[in-house]
Chain A
Amino acid sequence: MEFEFTTDGEKRRVKTDARSPRTEVTIDGTSYDVDWARVRDGVISLVIDGRSHTVQVARRDGGVDVQLEGRQFSFGTGSRDDDSAVAAGASAGAGGTIKAPMPGNVVKVMVAEGDEVTVGTSLVVVEAMKMENEVKSPVDGVVKKVNVAAGDSVGTTEAMIEIEPAE
Chain B
Amino acid sequence: MKKILIVNRGEIAVRVVRACRDMGIPSAVVYSDADRASLHVLEADEAVRIGPAPALESYLNIDAVIAAAREVGADAIHPGYGFLAENWRFAKRCEDEGLTFIGPTSDALQLVADKIRSRETMLAQNVPIIPGMMSSGKDMKDYREKAAEMGYPVLVKASAGGGGKGMQIVREEEGLEAAIETSSRVAGSAFGDDTVYIEKLIERPRHIEFQILADMHGNCVHLFERECSIQRRHQKIVEESPSPVVGSELRAKMGATAILAAKACGYTNAGTVEFLLDEDGTSFYFLEVNARIQVEHPVTEMVTGVDLVRQQILIARGEKLEFTQGDLSQTGHAIECRIYAEDPKNNFLPSSGRISLFREPQGPGIRHDCGIYEGWEVPVHYDPILSKLIVHAEDRDAARARMKRALGDMSILGIATCLEYLWSIIDSEAYAAGETQTDFIEKHMSDWPTSTASDETEHLALIAAALSLSTESSTGGAVREKAPSPWDTLGSWRIGAGGGR
Q: Contact residues of A with B, CB < 8 Å?
A: 1, 3, 5, 7-8, 12, 14, 16, 18-19, 21, 23, 25, 27, 30, 32, 34, 36-38, 42-44, 46, 48, 53, 55-60, 64-73, 75, 77, 86-89, 101-105, 128-131, 133, 153
Q: Is the CB of B357 within 8 A of A38?
A: no
Subset of 10 A-B contacts with CB under 8 Å: A3-B469, A42-B356, A55-B464, A58-B356, A59-B472, A66-B464, A71-B453, A87-B346, A102-B350, A128-B350
Q: Is the CB of A105 within 8 A of B463?
A: no
Nearest Cβ distance between residue A81 and chain B, in whole angstroms? 17
Nearest Cβ distance between residue A22 and chain B, in whole angstroms? 10
User: Which of B349, B411, B464 gathers the greatest number of chain A CB atoms within 10 Å?
Assistant: B464
Nearest Cβ distance between residue A5 and chain B, in whole angstroms? 6
CA distance A5 to B342 in the complex (A): 24
A-B residue pair count with CB separations less than 8 angstroms: 178
B382 located at the interface, meaning its Cβ lies under 8 Å from any Cβ of chain A in the complex? yes
B420 located at the interface, meaning its Cβ lies under 8 Å from any Cβ of chain A in the complex? yes
With A67-B413, A73-B453, A103-B352 in contact, is A130–B383 under 8 Å at CB?
A: yes
Q: Contact residues of B with A, CB < 8 Å?
A: 341-342, 346-347, 349-353, 356-357, 359, 380-384, 404, 407-408, 411-414, 417, 419-420, 423, 452-453, 457-473, 475, 477-481
* Top 9 A-B residue pairs of the complex, sorted by shortest distance between their CB atoms: A70-B408, A18-B470, A55-B464, A58-B413, A129-B350, A58-B356, A129-B384, A66-B461, A57-B468
Nearest Cβ distance between residue A97 and chain B, in whole angstroms? 19
Q: B341: nearest residue on chain A (CB-CB)?
A: A129
Q: Chain B residues near A130 (CB, 8 Å)?
A: 382-384
Q: Chain A residues near B357 (CB, 8 Å)?
A: 42-43, 56-58, 65, 67
CA distance A130 to B359 in the complex (A): 26
CA distance A133 to B352 in the complex (A): 15
Q: Chain A residues near B473 (CB, 8 Å)?
A: 1
CA distance A34 to B475 in the complex (A): 19
With A37-B480, A89-B347 in contact, is A58–B462 under 8 Å at CB?
A: no
CA distance A131 to B479 in the complex (A): 43
Q: Chain A residues near B479 (CB, 8 Å)?
A: 38
Nearest Cβ distance between residue B97 and chain A, in whole angstroms? 28
CA distance A119 to B256 in the complex (A): 55
Q: Is the CB of A27 within 8 A of B462?
A: yes
Q: Is the CB of B408 within 8 A of A56?
A: no
Q: Chain B residues near A68 (CB, 8 Å)?
A: 457, 460-461, 464
Q: Chain A residues near B480 (CB, 8 Å)?
A: 21, 37-38
Q: Is the CB of B459 within 8 A of A44?
A: no
With A56-B357, A102-B349 in contact, is A71–B465 under 8 Å at CB?
A: no
Q: A73: nearest residue on chain B (CB-CB)?
A: B461
Q: Chain B residues near A67 (CB, 8 Å)?
A: 357, 411-413
Q: Chain A residues near B420 (CB, 8 Å)?
A: 70-72
Q: Is the CB of B465 within 8 A of A5?
A: yes
CA distance A129 to B404 in the complex (A): 27
Q: Is the CB of A5 within 8 A of B380?
A: no
Q: B422: nearest residue on chain A (CB-CB)?
A: A70
When the two chains form the complex, which single residue of B352, B359, B465 contacts A14, counting CB atoms closer than 8 Å?
B465
User: Which of B351, B414, B468, B473 gathers the greatest number of chain A CB atoms within 10 Å?
Assistant: B468
Q: Chain A residues near B466 (CB, 8 Å)?
A: 1, 3, 5, 14, 16, 18, 25
CA distance A72 to B461 in the complex (A): 9
CA distance A30 to B322 in the complex (A): 65
Q: Chain B residues near A60 (CB, 8 Å)?
A: 356, 414
Q: Is the CB of A30 within 8 A of B459?
A: yes
CA distance A157 to B411 in the complex (A): 27
